[in-house]
């Protein structure tokens, strides 16, 4: 009977969405209680989802298909970051040249490092293309990857991993390199770890979050232009 119940639940589209939301809420509760950077809600949520899929023997493809209603919300959620951007608009205008230089440099460094490491380790062109958009939001990165001949699923995975890494280590790296200026921190979060990093930046400071929102947008545009030229 229990096996039958599990099978029915696993084949329900609602189950995948409920699992995702509950797993994230558990992660958020853990971080709220113990205040540890490693207890990132996305990291814990992803681990719980993977564990559940493994225990219940649910194919990843089925889970992804059932969670499509959630993935459709990615783009509107990204657009909503413009609220923080608007609230800090005057300060952003003042520091726009510095933000542009920082984002451009960071984006070029990201693309170049991926390309050089891919050459060093002998990665195929398909794998290299799939890794190039690692630091921009998935709403843009996956499309760029697939249009250039990459693997969308791999690009999605590396984008999520990059975002989680930036979200978890961003504050510590800011302290390590003595980045006390909110503009510098915002550029770092947004350029290196897109939306997931920006969510952490917003928690630190509204200004850092706003700069991060602008930075991830600019990084996406710059990456789009460069990849469109390289793989036209």
Residue 58: pLDDT over 90: no
For residues 192 and 107, the answer to whether their CB atoms sit within 8 Å is: no
CA distance 56 to 75: 30
Token duo for residue 111: 């693309």
Question: Residues, the chain, total?
Answer: 232
> Which one, of 224, 56, 81, 64, lies nearest residue 147 by Cα?
224
What are the pLDDT digits (tens) for 100-119?
Answer: 999 999 999 999 999 999 99
For residues 155 and 181, the answer to whether their CB atoms sit within 8 Å is: no
Q: What are the DSSP calls for 98-111, one per residue?
A: HHHHHHHHHHHHHH
Residue 7: pLDDT over 80: no
Q: Tell me which of 14 and 81 has the higher pLDDT.
A: 14
Q: What is the pLDDT of residue 50?
A: 92
What are the pLDDT digits (tens) for 181-216?
Answer: 999 999 999 999 988 899 889 889 999 999 999 999
Residue 159: pLDDT over 90: yes
Residue 156: pLDDT over 80: yes
**Considering the entire predicted model, what is its pTM?**
0.84
When the pLDDT of each residue in the chain is averaged and rounded to a whole number, the result is 88
Q: What is the pLDDT of residue 38?
A: 79
Residue linked to tokens 């608009």: 89
CA distance 87 to 81: 10
């Amino acid at each position: 009977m229990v096996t039958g119940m599990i099978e029915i639940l696993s084949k329900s589209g609602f189950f995948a969405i409920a699992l995702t939301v509950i797993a994230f809420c558990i992660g958020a509760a853990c971080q709220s209680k113990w205040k540890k950077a490693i207890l990132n809600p996305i990291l814990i949520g992803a681990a719980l989802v993977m564990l559940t899929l493994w225990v219940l023997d649910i194919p990843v493809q089925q889970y992804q298909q059932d969670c499509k209603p959630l993935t459709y919300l990615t783009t509107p959620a990204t657009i909503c970051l413009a609220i923080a951007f608007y609230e800090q608009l005057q300060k952003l205008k003042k520091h726009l040249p510095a933000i542009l230089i920082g984002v451009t440099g960071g984006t070029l460094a990201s693309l170049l490092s991926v390309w050089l490491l891919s050459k060093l380790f002998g990665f195929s062109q398909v794998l290299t293309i799939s890794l190039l958009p690692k630091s921009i939001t998935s709403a843009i990165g996956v499309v760029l990857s697939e249009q250039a001949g990459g693997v969308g699923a791999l690009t999605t995975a590396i984008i999520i991993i990059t975002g989680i890494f930036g979200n978890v280590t961003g504050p510590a790296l800011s302290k390590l390199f003595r980045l006390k200026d909110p503009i510098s921190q915002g550029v770092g979060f947004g350029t290196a770890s897109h939306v997931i990093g920006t969510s952490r930046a917003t928690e630190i400071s509204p200004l850092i979050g706003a700069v991060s929102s602008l930075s991830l947008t600019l990084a996406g545009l710059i990456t789009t232009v460069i990849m469109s030229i390289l793989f036209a």
